[in-house]
Amino acid sequence: MFRIRALTPLLISSALLVACGGGGGSGGGGERTGVFKDSNVIGIDYRTSSGMTGTTNERGEFRYRKNDVVTFRVGNVEIGSAPGAAVVLPVDMVEAGISIEPGVTGRVRFMLMLDEDGDPDNGISISEEVRTLAMDWTQPEFASGNLAGDIADIISDVASVHPGASLPSAAVAIDHLQGTIRCVRAGAYQGTYQGSDRGTFGFLVDALSGGVSGVAFSDIDGGEYILSAFNNIEYSQESAFVSRTSSDVFFNGRFPDANSVSGGWAADGSTGGSFSGRRIGGLSNADFRFTGAFTGDDEGLFSFDVSESGMVQGVGYSILEDELVTLSGSVTGTTLSATYSEGNISGTLNRDTGALNGTWQNTVFGISGTFSGSGCRLN
């Protein structure tokens, strides 16, 4: 590795063991951990179909078992139900849910209104005072065209303990939810494709645009094919997307869960097949996720996560060599500094704006270049 492509030595990424896009993991007795997200929703009660109950913690986490359906509620108001998963989103609570569907938008508006400090970027926190008041609330119809009027008494109750609380517009709710979905899907994925051709691929989902780009390498003809975003991810349950090569090979994909990607590819009317892969970048306790590309003496894609304390971990993937390279480092203020086995990276990483840029060096082979990318708040 390292001599054939600097993609592997460089990839600005980190040592991430595969984790989910914000939560996930198994526990004893078949129990699993999921996160309820529209930003992490903290302090919401849940019950699973297998009888588990609780309240989401400071990271929005809940416990469930395989094949559970999980129901979330605030006092007497049921927010909705969805199959237990590493990440549950409001779109999962409505059949064939999408971000602009009124039933989805109404749920997001309602939860944003409940947030204790009115800043969903640091999580949606439902206070004990609001949960107590909610025991007397009447179940709203979230898809109502007059949600503000229908829940005027609820809004008044919330404002009595959190002055200034109000119901945000549908546009604000949609924008917020779509940003959450982009960040959940963001990162790097690797896998294989098969059919009339076969080989390996690497995808990068951009944290800000939701575009899916990458590289596919054919085991049959030895060709390398650059994939560019064609249709960015949809803001739906499985976030469908389309990526294509310059020769019009189309990869039509989706995300069955927070850690995997799958779909079909087609070159023309007679050739094509399927593909599947897994996330190769993700830190279970990450607070920020950054994605991007590097150029210079080599070029490639990267994805890495950053903790609230500034710890950096990521993963790079060489399509040609089918190998990973790890990186670790830190961010102090906006200064990024990290190392990998044969070099280092340095630059500027702004967690407030999501901007990222800098330079990389492979000191062993004397190659270097620049990188740039973008990021989002994951937890």
How far does the chain reach from its first CA to its final CA, in angstroms?
Answer: 34
pTM of the predicted protein model: 0.87
203 and 167 part of one domain: no
Digit-coded pLDDT (tens) for 231-266: 999 999 999 999 999 999 999 999 999 899 999 999
Digit-coded pLDDT (tens) for 148-182: 999 999 999 999 999 999 999 999 999 999 999 99
198 and 327 part of one domain: yes
The DSSP secondary structure of 227-277, one letter per residue, reads: EEEEEPPPSBSS--EEEE-TT--EEEEEEEETTEEEEEEESSSS-EEEEEE
108 and 230 part of one domain: no
270 and 369 part of one domain: yes
What range does the domain containing 251 cover?
7-21+187-377
Residues 132-135: contacts with CB within 8 Å, 24+ apart?
132/75, 133/75, 133/157, 133/158, 133/160, 133/161, 134/74, 134/75, 134/76, 134/77, 135/75, 135/76
127 and 171 part of one domain: yes
169 and 219 part of one domain: no
SS3 175: helix
Residues in the chain: 379
Per-residue pLDDT of the chain in tens (379 residues, 90 and over written 9): 222 233 333 333 333 333 445 555 555 558 999 999 999 999 999 999 999 999 999 999 999 999 999 999 999 999 999 999 999 999 999 999 999 999 999 999 999 999 999 999 889 999 999 999 999 999 999 999 999 999 999 999 999 999 999 999 999 999 999 999 999 999 888 899 999 999 998 888 998 899 999 889 899 988 888 899 999 999 999 999 999 999 999 999 999 998 999 999 999 878 999 999 998 766 656 889 998 888 788 777 788 899 889 999 887 666 555 666 788 899 999 999 998 888 888 999 999 898 999 998 889 888 888 888 889 988 8
Which residue among 182, 212, 247 closes a domain? 182
In a domain, 246, yes or no: yes
150 and 207 part of one domain: no
In a domain, 230, yes or no: yes
